[in-house]
A and B are shown apart, each in its own frame.
Chain A
Amino acid sequence: MTAMRKANAAYPFGFLDEYAKKEVRRTVLKAIAIPGYQVPYSSREMPMGRGFGTGGLQLTLSIIGEDDTLKVIDQGSDDSVNAVNLRSFIEMTCDGIDTTDITDKANLIQSRHRIPEKPLREDQIIVLQVPYPDPLVVVEPSEDKRKIMHGEADYSRLLVKLYEDIVKFDEITISHRYPTCINGHYVIDPSPIPRWDVPKLHQSKALVLLGAGREKKIYAVPPYTDAEPLAFDDMPFRVESFNDENGQRRCCDRCGDDTSFLDEFDGQGGEKVYQCSDSDWCREQSIAKGA
């Protein structure tokens, strides 16, 4: 680790060179100006494999400054492998920034697969890591054609796909990456956040930036912008249910909260155990309840 830190002394602030940052920054402004449109950019090689959050990382490194307080989460947790490694890399290459586990204290949040439970504020920015940015890829293999379909807001084939789900399973079976219409035009893949988090995009106070490094795309949901999950009049969008077989809302095993998105895993006796997915939320609820 010492050798790595010494080697990093040769890197500029934020690891990326200024030309790379400028390109990402120009792309970000276009993405904000055209809500939901996937703006192509020349994703740089990063010292980690594509698919490990390089898109989100390039966004964070291009916008972060010494005054920022950064929180990095993976599936809601600050302590999982992806989050720990990305945070460590950013700390090593961005001298002077602060990092935190506490959502309230962060003004820049990089996340894989979750949006924090606590409603974000206007002074916060969330960067989501995206593996597959285009929701139309399941119905149209040609990117050229997909780009025209997006431009025309032609999502009829995607709606047919959702309808086929209803015919086969009596409901839309997409559990994450739920296609969401931004400002009444572009439909985005909101990254593999659960359905639970999709409504948080709607009229969000915070700017939402999404980066797909492998697919070389950046897109955005500006603040106070409509974000409507695709649905039908007689089959409205619904989030995950955490009710048990008796219709009772399950609680977090650790903090007792019954309002958050829960992770399910096996307890020591083989029984199902549920805990808050958002570790900071869980910690805060535990303190509030004196648990």
Chain B
Amino acid sequence: MSKIEAIWLPEVQQQVFRGLMEVMSRPGKTENLSELTNNASPARALLATLLDGEVNLCDHHNLLDDADWPLLQAQKVAVEHATTILCRGDSAVDFEPLLGELSSPEHSAMIVLVVENISEGNSHLSLSGPGVNGIISVKISGLNRDWLNQREEWISSFPLGVDLLLVDDSHVMALSRTTKIEVTSWVM
């Protein structure tokens, strides 16, 4: 008898969501999802937690297996129309995501960026803004700086913008559109 992978179980999705809610509430904070999901990739875990047939997804760099799509149920759309986008963080940005509208900023994209490491790395960022008690420093590796440059443009007209979820092999971290980022050192 085949066993259902943990990320598709409602009780696991509830715990993954609580982790997501925590990191979205507190940009720069990381949550380890690997124990909850039996070492499944955090990107797949959070997509399984948030998506269903009512929303769409663009797997911009084909990071998902074909077998994931029927379970995710999300509609496949082009990246310019996607409300959820899965990308490699080490690639340069080659699209314009949905930024929402002034009256409906929620019609904007949430971008899941797969990077090498969000707990250690030679690229150092200082974060401030809602959810951050003063300033928090984070270390990242495997993120193309182009993402931060493009993000600055995308979020320049608040409330329009995008929200980033950075994931590595085990952890997730959020950079919401209100987070102010200062690059203190950068090594790609």
Contact = CB atoms under 8 A, between A and B. Distances in A.
B35 interface: no
B21 A222 contact: no
Given A65-B15, A223-B131, A225-B130, A33 B102 contact: no
A29 B21 contact: yes
A130 B137 CA distance: 36
B54 A35 contact: no
Contact of A39 (B13, B106, B110): B106
The size class of the interface chain A forms with chain B is 35 or more
Contacts, number: 103
Contact of B176 (A33, A63, A152): A33
Interface residues on B, range: 35 or more
Given A22-B50, A29-B20, A63-B17, A35 B25 contact: no
Interface in B76-106: 101-106
B156 interface: no
A25 B17 contact: yes
A207 B103 CA distance: 24
A18 interface: yes
A12 interface: yes
B146 interface: no
A216 interface: no
Contacts of B130: 35, 183, 222-226
Contacts of A150: 103
A39 B24 CA distance: 16
B176 A207 contact: no
Instruction: Pick the 5 closest A-B CB pairs, nearest first.
Output: A151-B102, A147-B103, A225-B130, A33-B176, A30-B106
11 contacts: A21-B14, A22-B49, A27-B106, A28-B21, A30-B163, A32-B25, A63-B17, A222-B25, A223-B26, A223-B130, A223-B131
Interface of B: 10-11, 13-15, 17-18, 20-21, 24-26, 49-52, 54-55, 101-106, 110, 130-133, 158-159, 163, 176-178
Interface of A: 12-13, 18-19, 21-23, 25-30, 32-35, 37, 39-40, 63-67, 144, 147-148, 150-152, 183, 185-186, 207, 222-226
